[in-house]
C-alpha cells in the first residue's frame, strides 16, 4: 500500500470513527475506490488503524480512565462484543470485513433507521427527540447503571457487521434507555477504547507475524493521521449533538451508500 493511500485512510478513519456513519464501512469503500485489493494486510490495517482514533479519546478523557467505577462499566459494556468477536473472529474477518455489498446495505438501512428513530421519538414527545431529555435521565457517565451499560454493550455488538457503525448502535441504544445525548456520546467515546484495543490487539496477535518492515511504516502513518483528525472530530461531535439530532447523519448514510453503490457495484 502506498504511503499516500495510508494518509487518506488515516484521515477517513479519524473523521468517521466516532460519528454514527461507520468508520469501518468508509475505510472498506474508500480502499475500493483507491483500487486497493482486500488483502489480509489491508483488512488488518482497517482494524489496527483505529488505534490512532482511540489514542485521541485517551488523550482527551484521560481523567475518566483513572476512575475504577468508569472502567467497571466500560468492561461490562464491552463483554457482549468481546464474546462475539472472540468466537466469530474468523467468520467476521473472512466474510464481513471487506464485503462491499454488506457495507452498502448496512449504511443505507442504518441511515433509514436513524431517521425513523429520530422522527418517531420526536412525534412521541419522548426524551429521545433531541432537547427534551427526561429529568431522571443519567446526566453523567458515572450515573449509568451496570444494567444500562450491559444493554448498550449488546447494541454495540451488532456493529460487528461493517457499515452498521459502533457509534450509531451505542448512541441509539443509550437514547432508548433514556440517557442524555452528551452522556451517551461520551460513553460511546470511552467504550471505543477497550473495544478497539481488544479488536486491534487480537488482530495483531494473529497477523503481525506476516507483516513486513514496510507494513509497520504504513501503519504508523495511518495511526498518526487518524489520531490528529480524531481530536477534531470528537470535539466537533460533542458540540453538534447539543444543538442538532442525528437525522443529518441518517441522510448522509443513505446518500453515501447510494453514491458508493453507483461507483462500486
pLDDT tens-place string over residues 76-128: 999 998 888 777 767 776 767 667 788 888 899 999 999 998 888 766 544 44
Q: Are the CB atoms for 102 and 162 separated by under 8 Å? A: yes
Confidence of residue 238 (pLDDT cuts 50, 70, 90): confident
| Backbone torsion region of residue 165, taken as left when φ is above 0, otherwise alpha when ψ lies between -120 and 50, otherwise beta | left
Cell 484521515 maps to which residue? 11
Closest CA to 154 of 47, 92, 90, 82: 82
Taking only the tens place, the pLDDT of each residue in 114-166 is: 999 888 876 654 444 444 444 344 457 878 899 999 999 999 998 888 888 88
> Residue 162 belongs to what domain range?
3-264
SS3 assignment, position 39? coil
C-alpha 152/C-alpha 147 separation (Å) is: 9
Domain count of the fold of the chain = 1
SS3 assignment, position 254? helix
Amino acid at each position: 500500500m502506498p504511503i499516500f493511500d495510508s494518509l487518506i485512510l488515516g484521515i477517513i478513519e479519524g473523521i468517521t470513527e466516532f460519528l454514527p456513519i461507520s468508520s469501518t464501512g468508509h475505510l472498506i469503500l474508500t480502499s475500493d475506490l483507491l483500487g486497493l485489493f482486500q488483502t489480509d494486510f489491508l483488512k488488518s490495517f482497517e482494524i489496527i488503524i483505529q488505534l490512532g482514533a482511540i489514542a485521541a479519546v485517551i488523550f482527551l478523557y484521560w481523567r475518566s480512565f483513572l476512575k475504577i467505577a468508569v472502567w467497571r462499566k466500560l468492561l461490562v459494556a464491552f463483554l457482549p462484543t468481546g464474546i462475539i468477536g472472540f468466537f466469530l473472529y474468523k467468520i467476521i474477518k473472512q466474510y464481513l470485513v471487506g464485503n462491499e455489498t454488506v457495507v452498502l446495505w448496512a449504511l443505507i438501512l442504518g441511515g433509514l433507521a436513524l431517521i425513523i428513530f429520530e422522527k418517531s421519538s420526536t412525534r412521541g414527545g419522548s426524551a429521545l427527540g433531541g432537547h427534551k431529555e427526561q429529568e431522571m435521565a443519567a446526566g453523567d457517565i458515572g450515573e449509568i447503571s451496570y444494567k444500562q451499560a450491559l444493554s448498550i454493550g449488546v447494541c454495540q455488538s451488532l456493529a460487528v457487521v461493517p457499515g452498521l457503525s459502533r457509534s450509531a448502535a451505542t448512541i441509539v441504544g443509550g437514547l432508548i434507555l433514556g440517557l442524555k445525548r452528551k452522556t451517551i456520546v461520551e460513553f460511546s467515546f470511552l467504550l471505543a477504547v477497550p473495544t478497539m484495543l481488544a479488536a486491534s490487539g487480537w488482530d495483531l496477535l494473529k497477523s503481525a507475524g506476516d507483516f513486513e518492515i514496510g507494513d509497520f511504516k504504513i501503519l504508523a502513518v495511518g495511526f498518526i493521521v487518524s489520531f490528529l483528525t480524531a481530536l477534531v472530530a470528537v470535539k466537533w461531535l460533542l458540540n453538534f449533538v447539543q444543538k442538532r439530532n442525528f437525522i443529518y447523519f441518517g441522510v448522509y448514510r443513505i446518500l453515501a451508500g447510494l453514491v458508493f453503490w453507483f461507483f462500486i457495484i
